[in-house]
Amino acid sequence: MTSTQRLTSTRIFAALSAVFFHAHWAKEAIPSHSLLNLIASGPTAVSYFFCLSGFVMAMVYQPDNFSTFKYWLARIARIYPVYLIALIWFAYVSSLGPKAWILNLGLIQSWIPGQALSGNPPGWSLATEVAFYLSFPFFIKSLSKEKLARTTVVVAFFWMFSQAMHEYAYATWYPEHPYPSGWHDTLFYSPIFHFNEFFLGAVIGAWSARQQIKPSYAFDVVTILAMLGMMVPTAFQDRFRSWGWPVDSHPNGLLAPAMLAFIYALPRAKGIWARIFEWKPLLALGEASYAVYLLQIPLLYSFNSLGVAQSLGISSALGTLLLYVFLLIAISLVVWKAIEDPARSFIRKLGSDRKFRGIQVEPQQVSVTSS
């Protein structure tokens, strides 16, 4: 086991944040407003996924031996099976018209104002992730050793420009076009305002790939400070907003520097607390987090329509929330072992065949989550 596997474990916390954001019982079950802000910060958690995705892509794929065909074969096998299961389940408990089917099967819904949530709602982030994947074969050329320093400067300015434009657009047009509206979809779901997270993650990942992971207590300090940099503005966002902090840009990369400092430092931390992320049950939950994220809404609809909690005599919001989360995690673990893991094994098997020899698949320790 390597220390980079710790990043896999972090994914379950981000996925559960999205789950608590959508589970309506959380507001009643968690009386503390600041605590609710912290553990139910779903949109900000998706921003973490986008940063982690860019970081891992740059760690796994190198500019000098990159194969677009092999890359896409691995990407499709990784994201589409569970995505399709979640979409079909959502269509069964809800309804999808022909247009929604086309957009969601093609993973282009996040580009179309008013259609980002036309299918399984968490699927919008997968459509945005696919936009990242489309750009990566071109972007990876800029991550070579000779170009990386210059690319880092350009991406840093692009991140600052994206934050400025998002805040300007939010302050100028959003008050007249709040959710639900095309402006809301463009500002919060469109890949245009999320490329900054992925690209910033990629340059940090490229730097990390060129450096040995040497554990040091100095990185424990960096990791803890980065965690505080993420958690404090999220938990106390109302107070930060009163100070003029652009809280509404949290889901669009404002906290990306703190997130990536955490992602970079965690594998290099030396303290016992950091090694908790290597705990096997936590790693398993991290692997299952992709299914947790995608299956949450279909299960929520089924859970409510079937009256699962009521049939078991559970009436409290906290009890209902815990039961729902337990079922979601249990189902997701089964889906991971029965579908996701076999799909990765299938790609590895193809890689051993002569026709597909050399296919590069993400190592388990840095396997990417698509959110």
What pLDDT digit, counting tens, does each position of 24-35 carry?
A: 999 999 999 999
Count the residues in the chain: 371
What pLDDT digit, counting tens, does each position of 150-177 carry?
A: 999 999 999 999 999 999 999 999 989 9
Q: Is the pLDDT of residue 124 over 60?
A: yes
Confidence of residue 362 (pLDDT cuts 50, 70, 90): very low
8 closest CA partner among 340, 347, 354, 243:
340
Confidence of residue 73 (pLDDT cuts 50, 70, 90): confident
For residue 353, what pLDDT is reported?
53
Specify the residue for token string 């997701």.
332
For residue 348, what pLDDT is reported?
60
- Please state, for a pLDDT cut of 90, what percent of the chain lies above it: 79
What is the pLDDT averaged over residues 314-336?
97
Q: How many CB atoms lie within 10 A of CB 242?
A: 10
What pLDDT digit, counting tens, does each position of 170-187 carry?
A: 999 998 999 988 899 999
Q: Residue 39 to residues 7, 32, 68, 134, 322: CA-CA distances in angstroms?
A: 18, 11, 38, 32, 14
Q: Is the pLDDT of residue 235 over 80?
A: yes
Q: Is the pLDDT of residue 364 over 50?
A: no
In a domain, 54, yes or no: yes
Structure tokens at 2: 């390597």
What is the three-state SS of 109-124? HHHCCCCCCCCCCCHH
For residue 312, what pLDDT is reported?
96
> Going by C-beta distance under 8 Å and a sequence separation of 6 or more, which residues neighbour residue 302?
89, 93
In a domain, 33, yes or no: yes
For residue 72, what pLDDT is reported?
85
Say how far apart CA 173 and CA 169 lie, in whole Å.
6
For residue 122, what pLDDT is reported?
97
Q: Which of 180-194, 281-295, 345-359 has the lowest mean pLDDT?
A: 345-359
- List the domain range (segments joined by +) for residue 41: 3-366
For residue 239, what pLDDT is reported?
95
Our count of domains for the chain comes to 1
In a domain, 273, yes or no: yes
Q: Is the pLDDT of residue 370 over 80?
A: no
316 closest CA partner among 9, 26, 8, 3:
26
What pLDDT digit, counting tens, does each position of 6-56 carry?
A: 999 999 999 999 999 999 999 999 999 999 999 999 999 999 999 999 999
CB 159 within 8 A of CB 253: yes
For residue 361, what pLDDT is reported?
36
In a domain, 371, yes or no: no
What is the pLDDT averaged over residues 142-149?
95
In a domain, 8, yes or no: yes
